[in-house]
Amino acid sequence: MTTLSAVRYALWALLAGVVIGVTAAALGLFPGAQKGTVSGTATLGAPFTLTAMTGEPYSWEPATGAPHAIFFGFTFCPDVCPTTLYEMTTWLDRLGSDGESIKALFISVDPERDTPEKLANYLSAFDDRIIGLTGSREDIDKVAGDFRIYHKRVELDDGDYTMDHTASVLLFKPDGSFFGTIAYGEDAETAVDKLRRLARS
Ligand code: NI
């Protein structure tokens, strides 16, 4: 094997490994989304009632009739959540009227600190289509589990704590079936294209 073909072979092997790894991660992360029931409805997510940032109860069920972008986080998040919220705001802005039908839900994984008032105050800096939701610890854990969202409280040295959580944005068609995800750090063109296709779904 020449040096060049050895390098090529190494690159191909590396690329194949990456593809296999990404596929496995996608299947492992959202196993329910691969199955679907006989009617073809995705099994990711389940009906829930939480508390909106207005203080009113907020109910969601799969067949809402509107395309949804659902993501989880918390207002004390130092980087990932504010970045996602900022990006979601710019994506919705870029979509203009194409994105009017999209509803975005930001569900707190830190309900102990994220009161409706705290969420309302925090989210006022972002697109007003983004609805903040909180609830009891029990309800939040149930909803996160139904959407296969990992979240875990992590104690900090100064006595404070932070939350580890899945950063993906989950997309649902108006009929409630799972459309796909927008990964954290995904480039803006791809994200806007996904949201445009979601709005037309
Ligand atoms: Ni976060």
Q: What is the pLDDT of residues 110-124, one digit of tens each?
A: 999 999 999 999 999
CA of 79 to the centre of ligand 1 (A): 6
What residue has token string 């509803």?
103
Instruction: Find the mean pLDDT for residues 40-65.
Output: 88
What pLDDT is attached to residue 63? 86
Helix (H) / strand (E) containing 178? strand 178-182
Q: Tokens representing 14?
A: 């590396």
pLDDT for 179 beyond 50: yes
CA of 24 to the centre of ligand 1 (A): 24
- The closest alpha carbon to 140, from 177, 174, 106, 184, belongs to 106
Q: Name the least confident of 31-40, 67-76, 78-87, 183-192.
A: 31-40
CA of 48 to the centre of ligand 1 (A): 21
71 forms beta bridges with 106
CA of 9 to the centre of ligand 1 (A): 39
CA of 3 to the centre of ligand 1 (A): 45
CA of 73 to the centre of ligand 1 (A): 4
DSSP label at residue 78: S
Distance CA 50, CA 37 (A): 26
What residue has token string 């970045």?
83
- The closest alpha carbon to 33, from 179, 193, 192, belongs to 179
Q: Phi/psi at 84 (nearest 5 deg)?
A: -60, -45
Please write the tens of the pLDDT for every residue from 124-135: 999 999 999 999
- The closest alpha carbon to 66, from 170, 175, 169, belongs to 175
Do 26 and 148 meet the contact criterion of CB atoms below 8 Å apart?
no
Do 67 and 75 meet the contact criterion of CB atoms below 8 Å apart?
no
pLDDT band at 29 (very low <50, low <70, confident <90, very high): low
CA of 7 to the centre of ligand 1 (A): 39
Q: Tokens representing 190?
A: 């791809």
CA of 81 to the centre of ligand 1 (A): 4
Distance CA 152, CA 76 (A): 14
What residue has token string 């989950």?
170
Q: Name the least confident of 2-6, 70-74, 173-177.
A: 2-6
Q: Name the least confident of 29-33, 43-47, 114-118.
A: 29-33
Q: For residues 171 and 35, which has the higher predicted lDDT (pLDDT)? A: 171
CA of 68 to the centre of ligand 1 (A): 19
CB atoms closer than 10 angstroms to residue 99 = 21
User: Candidates 3.10.20.30, 3.40.50.360, 1.10.3720.10, 3.40.30.10; correct CATH number of 37-199?
Assistant: 3.40.30.10
What pLDDT is attached to residue 37? 37
| Predicted TM-score of the model (pTM) | 0.79
CA of 1 to the centre of ligand 1 (A): 48
CA of 123 to the centre of ligand 1 (A): 14
Average pLDDT over the chain reads: 85
Distance CA 92, CA 131 (A): 13
Do 43 and 145 meet the contact criterion of CB atoms below 8 Å apart?
no
What pLDDT is attached to residue 62? 86
Do 107 and 34 meet the contact criterion of CB atoms below 8 Å apart?
no
CA of 80 to the centre of ligand 1 (A): 4
Q: Tokens representing 150?
A: 């990992």
CA of 153 to the centre of ligand 1 (A): 12
